[in-house]
Amino acid sequence: MNESVEELYQMVLQGDRRAISRLITMVEEDRPVAREALRLLFRRQERAHVIGLTGPPGSGKSTLVARLAEHYREAKKTVGIICVDPTSPFTGGALLGDRVRMQELFSDPGVFIRSMGTRGSLGGLAVATNDVISILDAAGKDYIIVETVGAGQLEIEIAKYAHTCVVVLMPGGGDDIQAIKAGILEIGDIFVVNKAEKEEASRTISDLQTMIETRPPTTRGGWRAPVVATVATEGKGISELSQGISKHLFYLKESGTLEEKNLWRMKTELVEVLNQRVERKVGVLLEETQAGRAILEKLMEREIDPHSAADEIEKLLLRNGGE
């Protein structure tokens, strides 16, 4: 380390890809320097439009991300891409669908691509993802696209990061729209039926439309989530998708819900950071201190129940100032 935080920060602001990459690695390794840089970066106003893409594996998310990024590049916009895969401990481009196209994007200085996998907890991944969004935003990216591998809870979590959440589905025989978790229907601001060249697509689209119309009203207010048909491999429907995404941001601004949404995003980010800290501290307390081990023993002996044990732990944490 022979550069100062200030230097690193300045380089990130200029969009220097190596500096961005280095800072993200520091964030993942949870280094104190990263904290300092993030503190500097965070004073800036958020500028980027953060777009989340989620949906079942194989539905074509990565292919769509590549196409969408190309579309934005043609409009001279810069793009950050984050692939979040909790099932993969590897980083790099390994999870990206269309390798050849992705290669082109990788070598484009207006695009920054990063894959993230869990090294620790899912909560840790959420925190790191938010930090990477802040970094790419400060680096001046106009759009930040977050692809989440459709794996359980995380596909729902994506709504917390994004201004606009795109749910990607594909046509399948008969009743599989019904099988889609209610949660994922709930979070979609825009729905994509990809692989729309397939025969069953029109059925999937109309089923989806019916389900969207009957979903309960939420914070989305007056926004009607559109269903966009795409064939990502052929680039069909990409401009419709990008129009939908812009319209949604416009809606958020016009209706005054953007601020509400940002408050909610900020709050959930804060809670995630706090959760991660508490989890660590509790871990240390239980595993490395006499008092913690004593509580565990009493719990095992059933002298106390988990709620009372938690009361004791809470007291200990507060007394020690959490240290």
Residue 61 binds to ligand GDP (criterion: CB under 6 A): yes
Q: Which is nearer to ligand GDP, 34 or 165 (CB)?
A: 165
Partner whose binding site includes residue 231, from ligand GDP, Mg ion, none (CB under 5 to 8 Å by kind): ligand GDP
Minimal CA–CA distance to 129: which of 73, 84, 182?
84
Contact indicator for 130, 50 with CB cutoff of 8 Å: no
Cα distance between residue 193 and residue 230, in whole Å: 6
Burial 99-122 (b: 16+ CB within 10 A, else e): eebbeebeeeebbbbbbbbbeeee
CA distance 231 to 46: 32
Does 62 sit near ligand GDP (CB under 6 A)? yes
Which of 54, 63, 148, 242 is in the footprint of ligand GDP by CB under 6 A? 63
Are 22 and 132 in contact, with CB atoms under 8 Å apart?
no
115 binds Mg ion (CB under 5 A): no
Question: How many Å apart are CA 273 and CA 256, to the nearest integer?
Answer: 27
194 makes contact with Mg ion (CB under 5 A): no
Of the pair 6, 197, the CB lying nearest ligand GDP is at 197
Within 217-236, which residues bind ligand GDP (CB under 6 A)? 231-233
Is 248 one of the binding residues for ligand GDP (CB under 6 A)? no
**x/- map, 84-113, ligand GDP, by CB under 6 A:** -------------x----------------
> Which residues are registered as beta bridge partners of 228?
192
Considering the rule CB under 5 A, would residue 62 count as an interface residue with Mg ion? yes
What stretches of 170-286 adopt beta strand conformation (E)? 190-193, 227-229
For residue 130, the partner it binds in Mg ion, ligand GDP, none, with Cβ less than 5 to 8 A by kind, is none
Tell how far CA 299 is from the center of its chain.
37
Find which of ligand GDP, Mg ion, none residue 115 binds, CB within 5 to 8 Å per kind: none
Instruction: Report 130-159 residues binding ligand GDP (CB under 6 A).
Output: none
In whole angstroms, the minimum distance from the beta carbon of 180 to Mg ion comes to: 18
Nearer to Mg ion, 61 or 248 (CB): 61
58 binds ligand GDP (CB under 6 A): yes
Residue 322 contact among ligand GDP, Mg ion, none, beta carbon within 5 to 8 Å by kind: none
Of residues 114, 141, 160, 195, which one binds ligand GDP by CB under 6 A? 195
What secondary structure does DSSP assign to 40-94, as a single string? HHHTSPP-SEEEEEE-STTSSHHHHHHHHHHHHHHTT--EEEEEEETT----SST
- The residue among 37 and 169 lying less far from Mg ion, judged by its C-beta, is 169
Phi-psi region of 256 (alpha: psi -120 to 50; beta: other; left: phi over 0): left
Q: What is the binding site for ligand GDP (CB under 6 A)?
A: 57-63, 97, 194-195, 197, 231-233
Q: What is the binding site for Mg ion (CB under 5 A)?
A: 61-62
